[in-house]
Structure 1
């Protein structure tokens, strides 16, 4: 009952956290795409892509390392681990801001966006606030507590959505730079909530240990490299469209990507719940535990995403019309291709979870790092041949190649079987069908 309680409670909050990001992020997109011109929205889409890479690289460097080290270390060292990760977080954030401020002019010329320099200067406020915000969330996740992460996300993302809603409905005139400042204010609200949720878990030892810092960096450098590579892989198509074409085309392409990215939320939510358990169980039970968790978690996420993929391919024209309006009707063809990424996402997401939790982050990094270069070459070729939709074809081909390579590695190391993944997928369909059948029978009898 205890294990079931953990999975239900953690799954509820993790899915809720991802659902909050989905609803508020999609809601902000829905109004902003109608508020800004295509060129302005394309600029905002590129800015968000870059800042997402920055935030996920921070998580990669610190988050998984902190969780794994806390579970594999003596209780007396937990405070040192937290302090060491905090020091790394501050230094890394300072380095990132310095690089952004230095190269913002280059980015402005590369993508023909005059305002992007000022946008990154003011984004420094958000970078600063995210240092304690992220630390509080890492601590909670290491303690298997997801409720605080859920509520801090609701405060941060929800307040931004409400701000965008007010701006759009009242037709308040703002610039892209103003929107960056609004984002910072909302991050501050999320930080306050994160502090009150995490304070009961905070355990800091003021005597820091250089060896622990080395251990965090030693593990985290691979995960950070993996996260950056993974996000670059996912955004190569948008950056390529922005570089070879223009921000108007980016806006069209991003409207399709926004919809297809929604399918990743179940995979990410399951991965966040599985990782702490996988780290714990592989430490005590060995690689067999990772094999079973992989097959079950991929089967579950496939069961959730496959119907969405099929439905989106059929209804792409209507979906684009509803979410972006008639001006973006060309994006429907792109959506039919990009939604197919969702078939491969559960495999790639859990590949990373299994590799990191079993102490093999270097293999995860190598595969993801290699995939970026393949995707750049693939996008270049297909964009030259087919224009905007070529970026979608190029990335789809890259997803297929990475799926094949990842499956070969998993089979050799963990003896993972694809047939077991599909066995679990149909098993979960059966469970869901039985549940609905019982509910319907109860309702009819009542």
Structure 2
């Protein structure tokens, strides 16, 4: 009992520990929520509809990451430079740039729909993508609010928005599953939009105490955000594309059902993303502060400790998944996705290297070396794209597991 009390006191006295727990809770809920969504979807949807939904979410997430990543790290990095009376002006310009960027990304999405139709030849998929700008608007504004909160080393907005956005969709799917009602993928998108707007309202009321707006345009602030954000934008978007290359190419060359098989294998390993994403979220603002206070030597120690921590947490889970891959696939997806077992084993192997690359990228962003990080991701992604295209075309869906996962 005394040990428990000591742990609680240590958490209460450490802002970093409290923030880390909030981020871990948020990331855990997102990943567990996504898993529950997947678990229900494979049981209520046909393989083709399930594959179409995965293609839709994969494409939308790429545009969503493009929209959010351009400003998120830049806001966290420069927020502390505009404290006090200047914070209102910085926040106003950050919001203005974010809204402008959402408009540009939405226009790019509309243009892309034509080319997506040529690649996938799916009118159903195209119809779903037209809802995209509403998704981008909600997530973009939530992202700015969360970044302002993170600049204060608080992360509760992430937790709140994660619970609400995922929770509403899970409840809706659970209702369909229990009542055996018919479904429509259009309704899935609409429910997600409603959940996004409700999350935005709730996050606004919980984070508004951190800012006041000074409605004054400042080109210098916009330039700082845009210049820093360009490379982090490229890093995040390329990383997202790299992570979904197999699914996107399989959907184009094979069928939506093939996308479902790949997604089943990769979905299992989302649980290891909990420590990865949690540490990454805390590492960025902590890295900025550590660089100022302790210099590069402090950054090195921070990188080593954070990477070691993730490996220690991940290893037992990966070993269990590797040994019982057949049973795990059968348990979560049923007998229709048995091919995913071999994919899972190979993905587990290269997942051991993820913490080192992921944390290296975050640290490079924190110390302002975004250009180096950009090319560290661009080159392996290009190799992945080439090999996935030609090998999937010749050998089918199983080859997706053998992709050259060199990226950070």
Matches within 5 A, 1:284-363: 284-363=293-372
**CA–CA distance in 1 between the matches of 2:72 and 2:12?**
23
Report the counterpart of residue 49 of structure 2 in structure 1: 40
Bigger mean CA offset, 37-46 vs 53-62 = 53-62
**Among candidates 372, 387, 393, match of residue 378 of structure 1:** 387
Q: Return the TM-score normalized by structure 1.
A: 0.86
SS of the counterpart of 1:354? Answer: helix
Report the counterpart of residue 286 of structure 2 in structure 1: 277
**Among candidates 96, 118, 129, match of residue 120 of structure 1:** 129
Q: Return the TM-score normalized by structure 2.
A: 0.94
**CA–CA distance in 2 between the matches of 1:317 and 1:217?**
47
Report the counterpart of residue 225 of structure 2 in structure 1: 216
**Among candidates 17, 24, 31, match of residue 22 of structure 1:** 31
**CA–CA distance in 2 between the matches of 1:338 and 1:386?**
18
Contact 1:104 1:116 in 2 (8 A): no
**CA–CA distance in 2 between the matches of 1:345 and 1:80?**
38
**CA–CA distance in 2 between the matches of 1:283 and 1:218?**
21
**CA–CA distance in 2 between the matches of 1:370 and 1:76?**
43
**CA–CA distance in 1 between the matches of 2:277 and 2:207?**
22
Report the counterpart of residue 267 of structure 1 in structure 2: 276
Q: Are 1:398 and 2:405 counterparts?
A: yes
Contact 1:305 1:342 in 2 (8 A): no
**CA–CA distance in 2 between the matches of 1:158 and 1:239?**
27
Contact 1:15 1:269 in 2 (8 A): yes
Q: Which has the higher contact order (CA 8 A, sep 6+)?
A: 2
Shift of 1:384: 4.5
Shift of 1:288: 1.2
Contact 2:262 2:400 in 1 (8 A): no
**CA–CA distance in 1 between the matches of 2:114 and 2:293?**
51
| Post-superposition CA distance 1:11-39 (Å, at most 9, x none) | 11110001110111110110011111111
Gapped regions of structure 2 (runs ≥ 5): 1-9
Matches within 5 A, 1:152-301: 152-301=161-310
Bigger mean CA offset, 128-137 vs 318-327 = 128-137
Report the counterpart of residue 441 of structure 1 in structure 2: none
Gapped regions of structure 1 (runs ≥ 5): 404-446
Contact 1:22 1:262 in 2 (8 A): yes
Q: Give the alignment's Cα RMSD to 1 decimal.
A: 1.7
Q: Are 1:366 and 2:375 counterparts?
A: yes
Shift of 1:132: 2.3
Bigger mean CA offset, 229-238 vs 171-180 = 171-180
Contact 1:264 1:345 in 2 (8 A): no
SS of the counterpart of 2:180? Answer: coil
**CA–CA distance in 2 between the matches of 1:77 and 1:363?**
31
